[in-house]
Amino acid sequence: MQVKLQDIKLTYEKHHNIFERLNCTFNDGELVALLGPSGSGKTTMLNLIAGLLTPTTGKILFNESDVTKQDVRARNIGMVFQDYALYPHLSVLDNIAFPFKMAHVKKSARRKQAQKLAKLVHVETQLAKLPRELSGGQQQRVAIARALAKDPAILLLDEPLSNLDATLRIELRDEIRRIQQTTGVTTVFVTHDQSDALQIADKIIVLANGQIQQIGTGTELYHHPHNLFVAQFVGTPKINLIPIAEFKPYITPTIPDDILVKATTIGIRSEAVSLNSIEQPVIAKIPAIIEKQNQFGREIRTHICFQTSQLISTAISETTASSQAISVYVLAKGCYLFNRDGECIWAGDEHD
Ligand SMILES: Nc1ncnc2c1ncn2[C@@H]1O[C@H](COP(=O)(O)OP(=O)(O)OP(=O)(O)O)[C@@H](O)[C@H]1O
């Protein structure tokens, strides 16, 4: 099922427009992540798709047919929430079979179908248990199976991993991807965690303040951010930001003056701060002081002081002595210039 949001405006109160003019498309069979900070409008967007909210103006189309005025029951949506929302007094099997019961499917048939779904989400050995006898991850699997029991046109997942510990989180998000690919159901996955979005989504919609900042794959968002918000929100460690006035004296004549004059901030990815520049285009050589180095998983993070800015490099090896005044190269690939409105006006890898 393809879902289109067309010129959506949503006003909660007279003076509070959550969305002004929202436009986006969720293609059939895609897993799309809605990524954004708290209050950016992720759940509101999900509720609009579900039919739990009606837009003030604009249209919602399912496969080109207008469902804007349809309520949640008519839309055939499967929903999974952060807190699982299972029926506590029903067994795992009965929880999964519940939508079949509502659809008046006969008992033996609904047990069979529920068992099949339990197998899909890997809880087939837990069928007689009550939800409270399951781990958080298992409960969420049951919630996903129950949502799929409706054979939904669209599956909406609202922060489904938030209550899980880090290991379970990674395991279940891979499972969600597997289940989604097996069923082929168009899925919208709300998260404020970039690693969830980057790991499993076909496409990511970055939201902030009720506005779509950018739509793209994880790679596109990381390498070609449209604005400062996306550049800062996507990527670990965070992109280094330096006021252009501090950086300008060191820039080699690689960036056209008409661009430079409009720039207020330069963003530099950690991998673009290097001690050497072998065969790679460089935009500046800057004086710096190495403050400390930390091992961060497989990565070494070097903290560098440049004028009033603190930078992080992940391209400097651990042999470097600290508290040293040195020169570091800033490589073109991984550098971005932003104007005063935060728009990206120059990207280093497009100008090699
Ligand atoms: N019923 C409501 N009445 C008025 N404003 C609301 C209502 N529900 C949400 N909002 C506002 O809409 C905006 C978006 O909220 P929403 O819950 O969609 O954000 P979110 O991105 O899902 O945040 P979180 O990650 O914290 O759940 C917020 O500014 C919120 O205060």
What are the structural domain ranges in the chain?
Answer: 3-228, 237-350
Least Cα distance to 143 among 232, 81, 214 occurs for: 81
DSSP secondary structure letters along 115-131: HHHHHHTT-TT-TTS-G
Regarding beta strands 57-62 and 65-66, do their DSSP bridges make them parallel or antiparallel, or are they unpaired?
Answer: antiparallel
Would you give per-residue pLDDT tens digits along the chain (352 residues)? Answer: 999 999 999 998 766 788 999 999 999 999 999 999 999 999 999 999 999 999 999 999 999 999 999 988 889 999 998 888 899 999 999 999 999 998 899 999 999 999 999 999 999 999 999 999 999 889 999 999 999 998 899 999 999 888 888 888 898 899 899 999 999 999 999 999 999 999 999 999 999 999 999 999 999 999 999 999 999 999 999 999 999 999 999 998 888 889 999 999 999 999 999 988 778 899 999 999 988 888 878 889 999 999 999 999 999 886 666 667 789 999 999 999 999 999 999 999 875 4
Other C-beta atoms closer than 10 Å to the C-beta of 225 total 25
Give the distance (Å) from ligand 1 centre to CA of residue 138.
28
Q: Which of 15, 17, 18, 233 to mutate to test the pocket of ligand 1 (most atoms within 8 A of CB)?
A: 18
Homologous superfamily of 3-228: P-loop containing nucleotide triphosphate hydrolases (3.40.50.300)
SS3 content of the chain, % helix, strand, coil (to 5): 30, 35, 35
Give the distance (Å) from ligand 1 centre to CA of residue 227.
23
Give the distance (Å) from ligand 1 centre to CA of residue 75.
22
Nearest protein Cα to ligand 1, atom 27:
38
Give the distance (Å) from ligand 1 centre to CA of residue 41.
6
**pLDDT value for 108:** 92
The region, left, alpha or beta by phi > 0 then psi within -120 to 50, assigned to residue 269 is beta
Torsion of CA 135, 141, 147, 150, to 10 degrees: -120
> What does residue 294 show for φ and ψ, rounded to 5 degrees?
-125, 140
* CA neighbours closer than 13 Å in the CB half-sphere of residue 3: 25
Nearest protein Cα to ligand 1, atom 18:
41
Instruction: Report residues whose beta carbon is within 6 angstroms of any ligand 1 atom.
Output: 12, 18, 36, 38-44, 192
Helices (H) and strands (E) in the chain, counts: 10, 19
Give the distance (Å) from ligand 1 centre to CA of residue 42.
8
Nearest protein Cα to ligand 1, atom 1:
12
